[in-house]
Amino acid sequence: MNIVIVGHVDHGKSTVIGRLLADTDSLPQGKLEQVREMCRRNSKPFEYAFLLDALKDERSQGITIDAARCFFKTAKRDYLIIDAPGHIEFLKNMITGASRAEAALLVIDANEGVRENSRRHGYMLKMLGIKQVAVLVNKMDLADYSEEVFKSIEAEYRGFLEEIGIRAKSFIPVSAMQGDNIAAQSSDMTWYKGRTVLEELDAFDEKESEADSLPFRMPVQDVYRFTGSGDDRRIIAGTVESGRLKIGDECVFYPSGKHTHVATFEHFGAGETPTEIKTDMAAGFTMTEQIYIRRGEICCLSGEKTPKVGTSFVASLFWLGISPMVKEKNYLLKIGAAKVPCQLKEIISTLDASTLDRGKKDKIDRHDVAECIIECSKPIAFDLTSEMPKTSRFVLVDEYEISGGGIITAEVEKTGISDVARDLAMRRNEKWETSSIPSELRAKRFGQRPGIVIITGHRYIGKKAMAKELERELWDAGRQVYFLGIGNLLYGVAGEIKVEGEIPDRYEHIRRLGEVANIMMDSGMLLLVTCAEFTANDMEVLEATVDTEHIHTVWLGDKVTTDVVPDLAISDASDRDATAVRIKSFMAERGLIFI
Amino acid sequence: MSESRRTYDKAAYEAHLVELENKSVYLLREAYANFKELCMLWSIGKDSTVMLWLARKAFYGHVPFPLVHVDTHYKIPEMIEYRDRLAREWRIDMIYGENKAALDAKETFPDGRLSHIECCRKLKTEALTHTLAGDWPRYRMNHDTGRYEVDSNTEPYTGVIVGVRADEEGSRSKERYFSPRDKNNDWGVGDQPPEFWGQYKTDFAPGTHVRIHPLLDWTELDIWEYIRRESIPVVSLYFDQGSGRRYRSLGCAPCTTPVESTAKNLDDIIEELRTGKFSNIAERSGREQDKEDGGGLEELRKDGYM
Ligand SMILES: Nc1nc2c(ncn2[C@@H]2O[C@H](COP(=O)(O)OP(=O)(O)OP(=O)(O)O)[C@@H](O)[C@H]2O)c(=O)[nH]1
Ligand SMILES: [Mg+2]
């Protein structure tokens, strides 16, 4: 079991652990003597904390800088004890340590009483989702082992914890230095009848298994296919966050909404191949219908509660970055295995976690906690922290550093231009009838992969003639190719929408074009489409409808005059043959046609 | 010795091993998904070998990145034989690097020219740094001939998987699962990235690289228990072959001394660690570089030593 020990700087966390290790005979032979000897040589008083504080700077400054882990066992079980630093400067190290724990010991100095990091650390435990907390009131030797001192600290801190929604399991008066109530009952505090720290550890509950009964969630870490080594399995790999999944179950992936069934679970090494996977398993399975999905989606079980899908959400977050979090700056959001660019849209309120004082600022400073709205540039699948805490957690990356963490508390109403298209695409995927002929087989027979090549550029540059010539050349070379003229669509599939309408009409045309393309591409076709002055917004709507890897854009003309970023730009398109050659080699490079 | 050390709940321990395995597999998959130029440092020892096995677990029998071994040329010969046999049998993409200049000039501890620490720095740290950076030759096994040839790939590795364990020594207990190294290979111990909720440092500036530590939470005992559970082949040097001595930790021949032990098989070793003579003696006590006073290994590690 993993236990973290937290609390304000110098309140005696490392000493508690050092004492615990020493009193239970858990130290490697000679370690205690070695540390005593080192202290003697450097004329420093011996500290139990030096058993943990192994870094040179830690010993010279007498503080813990980074969380140390140590291994320890009782008759009941094995423990990994994580000694967190108390200094505010090292809050990120405290969080690193605490996030690995299932339960926490929070230390308060009897002499100093409740201090700001006693409270801040309590709040962080709450945000990190650690529910089991025992509080140690330490240095009782300095407070004459007084019951009153202990009781008043207990009353104050219990009140604080209740305010943030944590119920402490117990309060224990201890002296780490003297060893009172650590591994053995104290003879100086006969008024205390509760457990020692050692007993309290054994009284913590094992990991809650409630995650098994929640809906199934497995972030897709990767899709493996080691064909190069003669292995044809396509394996969806990931670690289960919650729930269970069995062979034959139908699973749905979000945000795409694509679905398939579990064919087999995979396994290597000793033991049996599982027939069911559940919480915390690092698993892998093959599918009955081969669908195209990628790292970042989350695998769910059909029929269970679905995750939310969207680009915006309300979150409660803590910031660790040296530079504050600000609006209109790009950050990366990592949730499950997904990683998408995002921005801070709105700060609803900020909170000083050491006082619980609320405020309103236009930036989130280091060590602040804030209620805010985050907007991502692509949709993500997530849950709400009140329903499924694990899949509601995300981190934020600023430049190259993880600089904040948050939990999603609510959805935000959808208003973006592509939100409708995306929701429809997800519903369509949920119902999509997967062809019994795998796309690989079609690709093999046709010598091509399906795709949509958008030929765009200035008006009157001859895009259509170009596309038609390309269609002919590809056909002559044996390809299954079709020039999809927009007119074929405008008056039929989109017959009820104005042809020269408002902007929303244009987006709906593009969405329908995308949906028609999806059907044709599922049959293995290569599509050529022309469109004058294709924009980034057009692209956004198309990408909400068609898998991005199927879309390829070619710009004809000397300057790109819209905000779209084409995959290929041909500035001089006057020579049609040369242009056709370039587009064909571009298609070969992108793996659309095999030579 | 306390009473508690003797008790041993088999089911609870099995659950513990499963938990460690799941975590390591997750870390290896994260590494593979995030780093294009990825390799695994492979020291031939038991930890490296468990790590290799975990990679085969994670990728269902495959090892989709090269193994890199820093050859000091003072390794015990059986270690190198074992390395090459395993590479052939499991079709591992095996690479080694070395500090040719120092070896040619006999600038080593066994040649009497350097101290232990200086020798480690030359033959291990320097060789490692340059092998990872790709500016010294890398030798790659050609599976058709079974011989090593100079590797044409000289791209620097940006993700390096290393089998260090937190229980080995003080500074390792403060390591991250994903631990960034700067341009000079330095480890900024005081200012490490935060890690929580299964999210790690996978974004890094050009010229820097990230060390990945899938075995951080394992203890020496866990390693042996897992080797037994999975029947993983290990070098015979770990077992007493009749001399009453065996190696507990493998390194260079001149600097690693065997321990007095008659453990002849996995059961014996595990027994010895669980309740016997080694149950509270640190594993690396046979290694010279750890003995120089407080922080010797921390210093070496700051410079890029594993
Ligand atoms: N008198 C007395 N002193 C104590 C007790 N516990 C710890 N101390 C002293 O308090 C000081 C700080 O102890 P540490 O264990 O280093 O405190 P810490 O909470 O780990 O500090 P950081 O990790 O830096 O936040 C040391 O000088 C200890 O000797 C105690 O029970 N009684
Ligand atoms: Mg400390």
- Strand-pair category, B94-97 with B67-70: parallel
User: What CA–CA distance (Å, rounded) separates B223 from B225?
Assistant: 6
User: Residues with Cβ < 8 Å from A24, sequence gap 6 or more?
Assistant: A72, A74, A183, A198, B2, B4
Tens-digit pLDDT profile for residues A503-558: 788 889 999 999 999 999 999 999 999 998 898 889 989 999 999 899 999 999 98
Q: What is the pLDDT of residue B296?
A: 55
Rounded to the nearest angstrom, the gap between the alpha carbon of residue A141 and the centroid of all alpha carbons in its chain is 45
How long, in residues, is chain B?
306
Query: Coil, strand, or helix at residue A1?
Result: coil
Q: How many angstroms separate the CA atoms of B213 and B179, rounded?
A: 8
The pLDDT of residue A354: 85
> Of A464 and B110, which is predicted with more confidence?
A464
Q: Concatenate the DSSP letters of all residues of B196-235 into one string.
A: BTTB------TT-EEEE-TTTT--HHHHHHHHHHHT----
Residue-level pLDDT at A388: 93
Picking from A96, A270, A295, the nearest residue to B196 by CB comes out as A96
Same structural domain, A233 and A317: no
Q: Is beta strand A298-301 parallel, antiparallel or unpaired with respect to A276-278?
A: unpaired
Task: Give residue B4's pLDDT band: very low, low, confident or very high (50, 70, 90).
Answer: very low
Residue A26 lies in a domain: yes
Specify the ligand 1 atom closest to the Cα of A178: 31
Cβ–ligand 1 contact at A106 (below 6 Å): no
A312 and A458, same domain (yes or no): no
Q: Across residues B149-176, what is the average pLDDT? A: 88
Token pair 């290979």 in the structure block, residue: B185
User: What was the pLDDT predicted at A419?
Assistant: 84
pLDDT of the residue at B303: 59
**pLDDT at residue B284 tops 60:** no
Distance CA A337, CA A247 (A): 23
Q: How far apart are CA A529 and CA A554, in angstroms?
A: 10
Choose among B21, B217, B48: nearest CA to A268: B21
- Asked if residue A268 has pLDDT above 60, the reply is yes
Mutate to test the interface with B, among A47, A64, A66, A225 (most CBs of B within 10 A): A66
Strand partners, A81: A3, A70
Q: What is the mean pLDDT of residues B139-165?
A: 94
> What ipTM was reported for this prediction?
0.89
Task: Mark whether A91 and A227 lie in a shared domain.
Answer: no
Q: Is residue A218 part of a domain?
A: yes
Find out whether the beta carbon of A176 lies less than 6 Å from any atom of ligand 1. Answer: yes
Please give the pLDDT value at position B280: 63
Higher pLDDT, A135 or A501: A135
CB contact under 8 A, A282 and B21: yes
Number of domains in chain A: 4
Burial class (CB in 10 A: 0-12, 13-18, 19+), B181: buried
Looking at residue B160, what is its pLDDT?
96
The string of pLDDT tens digits covering residues B229-267 is 999 999 999 999 888 999 888 888 888 888 889 899 999
CATH of residue A45's domain is 3.40.50.300
The reply to whether A420 falls in a domain is no
Average pLDDT over residues A35-51: 83
Residue B30 CA to residue B32 CA, distance in Å, equals 5
Distance CA A131, CA A125 (A): 8
Dihedrals phi, psi of A277, to nearest 5 degrees: -120, 150
Q: CA A150 → CA A141, A144, A154, A174, A370, distances in Å? A: 12, 10, 6, 10, 33
Cβ contacts of residue A476 below 8 Å, gap of 6+? none
Q: Is residue A423 part of a domain?
A: no
Question: How far apart are alpha carbons A372 and A580 in whole angstroms?
Answer: 50
Quick: pLDDT tens for A109-127: 999 999 999 999 999 999 9
Q: pLDDT at residue B304 above 60?
A: no
For A193-239, the pLDDT digits (tens) are: 999 999 999 999 876 667 788 999 999 999 999 988 888 899 999 99
- Asked if the Cβ–Cβ distance from B60 to A401 is below 8 Å, we say no
Q: Which of A80-89, A341-350, B238-247, B268-277 has the largest mean confidence? A: A341-350
> Is the same domain home to A45 and A140?
yes
One domain, residues A271 and A340: no
pLDDT score of B5: 41
Confirm if B96 and B117 have CB atoms less than 8 A apart.
Answer: no
Rg over alpha carbons for chain A, rounded to the nearest Å, is 30
Cross-chain CB nearest to B57 (options A238, A269, A395): A269
Q: What is the pLDDT of residue A131?
A: 87
Q: What is the pLDDT of residue A177?
A: 93
B149 φ, ψ to 5°?
Answer: -130, 155
Of the listed ranges A61-65, A118-122, A515-519, B8-12, the least confidently predicted one is A61-65
> Does residue B3 carry a pLDDT above 50?
no
Stretch A477-498: mean pLDDT, rounded? Answer: 89
Would the pLDDT of A411 be above 90? yes
Distance CA A50, CA A333 (A): 38
- What pLDDT does A64 receive? 72
Same domain (yes/no): A53, A186: yes
- Residue B100: how many other CB atoms lie within 10 Å: 13
Alpha-carbon dihedral of residues A411, A416, A419, A421, nearest 10 degrees? 170
- CB within 8 A of A162, min separation 6: which ones? none
Mean residue pLDDT across chain A: 91
**How confident is the model over B190-219, as a mean pLDDT?**
90
Cβ–Cβ below 8 Å for A270 and B29:
no
Q: Which residues contact A353 (CB under 8 A, 6 or more apart)?
A: A119, A120, A123, A124, A318, A367, A368, A369
Let me know whether A25 and A172 are in one domain.
Answer: yes
For chain B, the first-to-last Cα distance in angstroms comes to 32
pTM for the model = 0.86
CB contact under 8 A, B60 and A93: no
Q: Distance (Å) from the C-alpha of residue A525 to the closest C-alpha of chain B?
A: 31
Give me the sign of the Cα torsion angle A58, A64, A68, A70: positive
Chain A, window 309-328: residues with a beta carbon less than 8 angstroms from a chain B beta carbon: 320
pLDDT of residue B6: 41
Do both A34 and A92 map to the same domain?
yes
Range scoring the smallest mean pLDDT among B14-18, B180-184, B254-258: B180-184
pLDDT at B285: 53
What is d(CA A192, CA A563) in angstroms, rounded to the nearest whole number?
Answer: 72
Q: What is the pLDDT of residues A389-403, one digit of tens each?
A: 999 999 999 999 999
Q: What is the pLDDT of residues A315-367, one digit of tens each?
A: 999 999 999 999 999 999 999 999 999 999 999 999 888 888 888 899 999 99
Which residue, A282, A301, A320, sits at the end of a domain? Answer: A301
Token representation of residue B228? 């037994």
Look at domain B10-218 and name its CATH class.
alpha beta
Kindly state whether residues A54 and A162 are assigned to the same domain: yes
Q: Taking residues B279-285, what's their average pLDDT?
A: 62
Q: Quick one: A329 and A445 in the same domain?
A: no
Instruction: Fill in the amino acid letter for A310.
Output: G
* Residue among A5, A6, A8, A14 whose CB has most ligand 1 atoms within 8 A, to mutate: A14
Please write the tens of the pLDDT for every residue from B102-130: 888 888 888 888 888 888 888 888 999 99
Please tell me the predicted confidence (pLDDT) of residue B1.
32
Residue A202 lies in a domain: yes
3-state class (DSSP) for residue B193: coil
Whether the per-residue pLDDT at A566 is higher than 50: the answer is: yes
* pLDDT mean across residues, chain B: 86
How far apart (Å, rounded) are the C-alpha atoms in residues B205 and B210? 10
Alpha-carbon distance values, A207 to A72, A239, A383, B32 (Å)? 18, 17, 21, 29
Report the pLDDT value the prediction gives residue B298, as an integer from 0 to 100.
63
**A471-480, B67-76, B276-285: which has the highest mean pLDDT?**
A471-480
Q: Residue A170 CA to chain centroid, in angstroms?
A: 33
> Which tokens in the block code for residue A592?
């659309």
Is beta strand A401-411 parallel, antiparallel or unpaired with respect to A250-254?
A: unpaired
Share of chain A above pLDDT 90, in %: 66
3-state secondary structure of A568: strand
A202 with A230, same domain: the answer is: no
**Residue B265: C-alpha distances to residues A386, B57, B231, B285 (Å):** 51, 24, 12, 21
DSSP annotation string for A170-193: EEEE-BTTTTBTTTB--SS-TT--
The enclosing H or E element of B139 equals strand B139-142
The reply to whether A393 and A457 lie within a common domain is no
pLDDT of residue B211: 94
Compute, in angstroms, the gap from residue A16 CA to the centroid of ligand 1: 8
User: Predicted confidence band at A587 (pLDDT cuts at 50, 70, 90)?
Assistant: very high
Tens of pLDDT along B24-58? 999 999 999 999 999 999 989 999 999 999 999 99
pLDDT of residue A383: 97
For residue B302, what pLDDT is reported? 60
Nearest CA in chain A to B220: A71
Contact status, residue A120 vs residue A153, Cβ threshold 8 Å: no
Report the 10 Å Cβ neighbour count for A182.
Answer: 27
- CATH classification of the domain holding A328: 2.40.30.10
Q: Which B residues 235-274 touch A at CB under 8 Å?
A: none
Closest CA to A525 of A591, A443, A418: A443
Structural domain span for residue A404: 308-413
